[in-house]
Each structure stands twice: as structure tokens, then as C-alpha cells.
Structure 1
Amino acid sequence: MKLETANLSIYYKQVEALQRINMNLSRPGVYGIVGENGSGKSTLLKSLCGLCQPSSGDILYTNKALKDIPLAERAKLWAYVPQRSHYDRSMQVYDYLILGRKPYFTWTPSTNDHNRVKSVLSLYELDHIASRTMSQISGGERQRVVIGRTILQDTPYVYLDEPTNNLDIKHQLLLMKQLQHYAEQGKIVVMAVHDLNLALRYCDHIYILAKGALLAEGKPEEVLTEKNLNEALQIKGQIHRDDKGKIYLYPEIDM
């Protein structure tokens, strides 16, 4: 299992949204993409899913070009959570979740498919809303449902664009732990993230984007430096370590 981008560039009209991005993800883990609004995080994720066509460069899955992967295979290869998800407001939560298993059945879900849905309902604390429609639940609950359906696809690659949006603190932490656990099962999880302390705590590797270019990459504690934070996010910040040895970042901005 391996994901590579080679000199990946994407133009929107005359604007270069991504500039010669080179990435090599060759082992399971949680990979974070950090950068300010408009830095190219969403465009990068969409390109990895085939939703944005490269203007130049290549995207390779285990040495096979993305453009050569049939659509039917893609649903079993990766799953994607966008910033804004489209859904049928009248659809029940359970029915929405079972769609995550659609790549594995033609007409009728199997007992295994239903058991997997029940497991996700429990894991994401959604049992009590399983029979409600998507219009009858809160924004945070809806986000957990969307992520749950993504996990149900059971793909080796998972892409999430700011997945903690609308989640309360408890469910942000639960989600990050669940994504860590998912990666430990041999998956590659790639997520755009704004919360630097979540990235620092839960990501194995971080890519920092600045104006569409890859500014730095590496272990969180190595790349979330004051210099990189200032250049990419126009903030100050240093990594500290508490008396228990846990690291955290205290960001600041001049007014």
C-alpha cells in the first residue's frame, strides 16, 4: 500500500492552487495537512480522490496512476469526507449508514453489512438517532453519521476535510482516537486539520501547505516550529512540554 504524488500542480484559471506537490505515504498512519484558509488543503484532498484533475504531475496508488483506476475500484480503495456533505434530508440515519456498504452488495445488504452498521452506531454513539431522518439531527450528530458511513466503506485510504467541524470537545477527542485506531488496523488516514494541538497529539506525520506549496513535512513536533507557523499561518507559537511529558502548542498573534 503506497500513495505518491509527483510534482502535482493544479490551476484554477490562472491561479496555481497547488504547486509541484511531492508526497510519499508508504506506511499506515494518520497524516495531517495544515495550512491557512486557501492554502490548498481541500484541493489536495480532492485531487487524491480524483475529484480535481491535475494540471500537471501524477498521483499514484501503489505505482498505478489514479487516472487508470476504474470507478468501480475506487469505492473500495478510498473514502472521502468533504467539508460539506450532500444528503437526502428525508433519509433515516440507519439507511444513510448502510450506503457505506454499497460497494460490497448489489441489491440487499448482508447480515455482515447490518452488523457493521450496528457496530458503527455504537462506536460513534448514534444508536439513539438511528431511526431519525438526517434533517432531525444536530450538525454535530450529522458529522458523526457522515464519518461513520465513510468508515463503513472499509477502504485502505480515508480522506477527511476538517472532520472535527461541528463536533463538541468530547467527540473531537473520540474521533481522533478512532482514526488512530483505524490507522493501527493498517489504513492510511489523511486529514485537513486546523486545530494544531489535535494535529500535534494525534498525527504521525504532518504536511504544511503555504500558498499552494509544500512548506515542510515530518513529525509534528519537528515541523510545527515557530518559523514554519509564522510563514504558513502568520502566528507565533512554540511547543511546550508539561510536567507529565505531554507536548502542546500555545499559539499567539500580534494585534
Structure 2
Amino acid sequence: MRLRRQHRVPDAVPDRPAAAEDLHVRLGGKDILRGVDLDVRAGEVLSLVGPNGAGKSTLLAALSGDLPPASGRALLWDRPAAEWSPLDTARRRAVLPQAHRVSFPFTVREVVGMGRAPWAGTDRAAHDDARIADALARTETEPFAQRHFTSLSGGEQARAMLARVVAQDTGLVLLDEPTAALDLRHQELVGRRCRELAAEGRAVVIVLHDLDLAAAYSDRTALLAEGRIAACGPPAEVYTADRLGEVYRQPVTVDHDPDTGAPRVTPVRRIC
């Protein structure tokens, strides 16, 4: 197996590159986030889990600076996210949204190269080719790098967009359901790559529905329910059968992987 050389983040990443402080967000006249407090830490994978409508994607968008708070603060590099220019924001955080659309027939390599746009005209532009090649390798998109993005399957497109985020080479990486279109192998690949990015000193925040995947690869998990954080901490502490059963309104059992010790969640099924 070919070994990939890891690189450190060129610019210093603060210990807390992002945070929410008493964060409230309203959309369409409805309170989506209600007084959320959350620290995002460098060198750590933080997963956001919870049922549909709990506010996970909204929280990610607020942390990225793409969604203004109704009250409270969303901080980026210890300043309100709205105080950064779009270019300065793009040099600090990379975002993978749930939906991605490329209408023109760019090749995969060209799409991945778009992640390097914030560094145009800087010394870091000299690393464009190396960063693009590294991102393609990490996401196993090298075999179709010259294909048109629009010709790919949904899972292949998802991996290409993840490669674009990796190529952007920022200290904060925000991923919204990056495994939704992926097969089992590539779901696990995403988990491993998140751990690699954190090991390089970056902060990674990932929205997931797969509780077992979140438990296996996260340092901390924030469990959201009705716009609030019901619990936050190591998955082994957050994942209790009673808490998950109440938040998801579905009985579950929680045991542990015999090899890794990570908690595993199994729904209690009543099949008629």
C-alpha cells in the first residue's frame, strides 16, 4: 500500500477555530437553534448527530459564517464570522454542503482545483498541483480525474466534492452528511480521512446520521434535539440507550465494538 505523506496546516490554527455562544437561528419565522453553546477544537473530529430537523445542518452553516444568527454569536478564529471578508473566510474554513451542483462539464480535476481559488496570488498557490493530487488520492478519485463531473454517479460526485474541500487546505473543515451517497467502503474512507485531517492539526466538524460511524471516528459527539444540544462529549458518554431512545423516539440498545471499544447502537425492532 502506498503511504501518503501528511502535511501540517501552513497557517497556525487557534485552539478554538470556531465556536457557538448562546447561538439562536431563525428561519422562516421558526426557531431552528435555541441557545447553542459549542466549542470546535483544533486536532479533533466533532460529529453532529440527531434526528431530522434537530438543527445539525443549520448549526454547521452558522459555524461556517454562511447563516447569520438571530442572536448570540458564531465565532471564526475568535471573531464573529460575519466580520471576515469572503476571501478571509475561505482561507480559514472549507465547507461541504449536502447538495452540490456543477452544471458545466468540468473535469473532476478541474472541480477539485476550484478548492485552490482562495490561494490564487499567494505563496501557497505554488502548492496547487501537489494539494490537488493529494486530495484526489485521499478520496480515491484519481481513476476518474479526467472524466466530466456530470458523467459521474452520485457517490463519485460526492467523493469529488470532498476532494475539493480537502484541496482547499484550511484549518477548519465542515462536512454536511458527506457519507449519504457513499457505499460502505467509502463511508469508512471518509471517517479515516477525517481522522487524518485532525491529526494534521485541523478541526473537523461532520454531520452524520450513522451513529456507529460517528462513534467510531469522533473525538466528541454533539447530540442535537429540537434546536438544542442534548449532550456533548466522547461518544461513549453521550451514547446511552435512554438518552438516544428519548431523542430519536426509538428504543435502542447500546453495546461496544469488541475491537475498538466504540459504542454501537442497535434499534429495537418489533417486526409483525
Question: What SS does structure 2 have at the residue aligned with 1:165?
Answer: coil
User: Which of 6, 24, 30 does residue 39 from structure 2 map onto?
Assistant: 24
Q: Give the direction of change, closer, same or farther, for the CA distance of 1:208–1:94 in structure 2 (3 Å limit).
A: same
1:110 deviates by: 5.1
User: Which of 64, 79, 84 does residue 69 from structure 1 map onto?
Assistant: 84
Moved more, 83-92 or 174-183: 83-92
User: Which of 146, 152, 165 does residue 180 from structure 2 map onto?
Assistant: 165
Unmatched tracts of structure 1, length 5 or more: none
Counterpart CA distance in 2 for 1:36 and 1:157 is 25
Unmatched tracts of structure 2, length 5 or more: 1-13
1:175 deviates by: 1.2
User: Which of 222, 236, 256 does residue 241 from structure 1 map onto?
Assistant: 256
Q: Give the direction of change, closer, same or farther, for the CA distance of 1:25–1:127 in structure 2 (3 Å limit).
A: closer
Counterpart CA distance in 1 for 2:41 and 2:92 is 15
Paired position in structure 1 for 2:230: 215
User: Which of 58, 65, 73 does residue 73 from structure 2 map onto?
Assistant: 58
Q: Counterpart amino acid of 1:132?
A: R
Paired position in structure 1 for 2:239: 224
Question: What SS does structure 2 have at the residue aligned with 1:135?
Answer: helix
Question: What SS does structure 1 have at the residue aligned with 2:35?
Answer: strand
Identity over aligned pairs, percent: 30
User: Which of 109, 115, 125 does residue 130 from structure 2 map onto?
Assistant: 115
- Normalising by structure 1, report the TM-score: 0.93
CA contact (8 A) 1:235 1:253 kept: no
Question: What SS does structure 1 have at the residue aligned with 2:68?
Answer: coil
Q: Counterpart amino acid of 2:265?
A: L
Q: Counterpart amino acid of 1:210?
A: A
Question: What SS does structure 1 have at the residue aligned with 2:181?
Answer: coil
Paired position in structure 1 for 2:267: 251
- Normalising by structure 2, report the TM-score: 0.88
Count how many residue pairs are aligned between Structure 1 and Structure 2.
254
Q: Counterpart amino acid of 2:267?
A: P
Paired position in structure 1 for 2:149: 134
Q: Give the direction of change, closer, same or farther, for the CA distance of 1:179–1:54 in structure 2 (3 Å limit).
A: same
Q: Give the direction of change, closer, same or farther, for the CA distance of 1:243–1:165 in structure 2 (3 Å limit).
A: closer
Give RMSD over aligned pairs. Answer: 1.8
The residue correspondences of 1:75-86 to structure 2 (distance < 5 A) are 75-86=90-101
Counterpart CA distance in 1 for 2:108 and 2:209 is 28
Counterpart CA distance in 1 for 2:205 and 2:260 is 26
